[in-house]
Amino acid sequence: MAEEKKCPMVGCNCPVPEGQEYCSDYCKEHQAHGGHECGCGHAGCH
């Protein structure tokens, strides 16, 4: 079984869907702008 990939967004520990780089559009957009707090809205992430 493959190891679950985690989102590269600073402060986010959400799993990333297969074939994607980030767990959400929020993380994809904000990582590029140097965001430091995650606001993806997934359970367990704040």
pLDDT at 35: 55
- Compute the distance between CA of residue 17 and CA of residue 3 in angstroms, rounded to an integer: 12
CA atoms within 13 A on the CB side of 40: 24
Task: Say how far apart CA 19 and CA 4 lie, in whole Å.
Answer: 12
When divided into structural domains, the chain yields a total of: 1
10 secondary structure, DSSP code: T
Residue 18 inside a domain? The answer is yes
**What does the pLDDT read at residue 22?**
93
User: Is residue 14 in some structural domain?
Assistant: yes
Segments of the chain with pLDDT less than 70? 1-2, 32-36, 46
46 is a domain residue: no
Domain-embedded: residue 20? yes
**Position 45 in a domain:** no
pLDDT at 19: 93
Task: Please indicate, yes or no, if residue 2 is contained in any of the structural domains.
Answer: yes
CA dist., res. 8 & res. 6, Å (int): 6
Question: Is 33 a member of any domain?
Answer: yes
Domain that holds residue 19: 1-38
pLDDT for res 2:
59
- Is there a domain that residue 44 lies in? no
